[in-house]
Structure 1
Amino acid sequence: MRIRILLLLSIVCFGCSKIKPRRPINPKPSTTILKETIKESKKLNQIEDAKIIHLIKKDSANTYQVSSNGFWYTYINKTEEEKPKPKTGDIVTIEYNITDLNDEIIYSKEELGTKTYTIDKEDFISALQVGIKLMKVGETITFVIPSYNAFGISGDGNKIGINQSIKSTVTLTNIK
């Protein structure tokens, strides 16, 4: 009987004690590491942008425009007549390819096939999400896209490498 009373008393005493919060084993990363990472990313972005600007200057046959979203584009086939442009929620049909900056084909138009895409509702190359909204049916635009607006630091896990800038020629064939 005494053992039961002692056991019950010890459970009550130790069971009601306050639990001390555990401290993390690894401290938070210092702000200097984060600042250095940001600094390196900005440097990488400047290098990519410089390569693209050099490429654009060499291409005297086309006139490129810079987007406020961080990519460049040129019209290959521009429609002057008044036609609607896609807006959020519209379903568009496009044909496109992906090349590197030296026009070496990464994914051909045939390989990618015709793509049906819902504007701003599906995951797609971020620069093309914005760029498609500039287009009218029948137009073809070549987009020059830095890696931070394409596949970024991971690539596509297949043919597009880490931090690889790309070009994509897109034809808008239909808007629903």
Structure 2
Amino acid sequence: MKNLHTIIVVLFLCFGCKSPEARLPESVQSGSFLKESAERNIKLNEKEKSLIQEIIKNNPDKDYIASESGFWYYYNTKIENDTLQPQFGDLVDFDYNVSDINGTEIYGNANRTYIMDKQELFTGLREGLKLMKPEERVTFIFPSQKAYGYYGDEDKIGTNIPLICEVTLNTITQEND
């Protein structure tokens, strides 16, 4: 019996004290997800740009301007003599309507006050307001990545929806006033 215990202890010491071995991962991750996501986004962007170009082509009476930020707009009412435009921290009061790319109204006749770059507002509208002067009315066309993107607004605007927004900038109250 003593020999059996000795054999068990010797076997345990020989095989139980083995150095740890690195385990292989169960699945190998590659950059394929990111590549596929980028490809999907490029295709989506091209599709939306094509839709927007079609809208512009079908409205030759509008003088569309392509912004440096990746959206398009035209002036319904342009103020030439005023130079005041919203800056960081300024309080702006504006009215707006939001429609999908087909012109179906999503939000109508809304009013909002917003502190420039200090409160939440979707990227395109925040950048669009910076181009405006008091009492101007501008119609913006935002591709989905400049609007609410993948998440939507969790209410009426779904995933990857390009938007048309008509905005009237009522007032600008400068931060240092």
TM-score category, normalised to shorter length = 0.7 to 0.9
The answer for the alignment partner of 1:128 in structure 2 is: 125
Q: State TM-score, norm by structure 1.
A: 0.81
- Take 1:65 and 1:102, find their aligned partners in 2: how far apart are those partners? 20
Aligned residue for 1:65? 65
The Cα shift of 1:29 comes to 3.3
- Residue deviations 1:42-96 (CA, integer Å, cap 9, x gap): 1111111111111111012211001111110000000011331111111100000
| Percent identity of equivalent pairs | 38
1:35 aligns to what?
35
* Partner secondary structure for residue 41 of structure 2: helix
SS at structure 1 position matched to 2:165? strand
Larger Rg: 2
Provide the rounded CA distance (Å) in 2 between the counterparts of 1:24 and 1:119.
Answer: 51
CA distance in 1, matches of 2:96, 2:28: 44
| Paired position in structure 2 for 1:99 | 99
1:24 CA displacement: 9.6
Q: In 2, are the aligned partners of 1:138 and 1:171 still within 8 Å (CA)?
A: yes
Question: For the structure 1 residues 96 and 24, does the alpha-carbon distance in structure 2 shift closer, same or farther, using more than 3 Å as the test?
Answer: farther
Q: Which moved more, 1:135-144 or 1:98-107?
A: 98-107
SS in 1 for 2:130: helix
Work out whether 1:49 is the aligned partner of 2:40. no
User: Which of 152, 157, 160 is the matching residue for 2:154?
Assistant: 157
Q: Gaps spanning 5+ residues in structure 1: where?
A: 1-19
Report how many residues are paired: 153
Deviation at 1:157, TM superposition (A): 1.9
Q: How does 1:74-93 map to 2 (within 5 A)?
A: 74-93=74-93
**Structure in which a larger fraction of residues adopt helix:** 1
Partner of 1:168: 165
TM-score computed with the length of structure 2 as normaliser: 0.80
Per the alignment, in what secondary structure is the counterpart of residue 150 of structure 2? helix
Q: Contact (CA 8 Å) 1:152, 1:164: kept in 2 or not?
A: yes
Query: Judging changes above 3 Å, is the alpha-carbon distance between structure 1 residues 162 and 26 closer, same or farther for their aligned structure 2 residues?
Result: farther
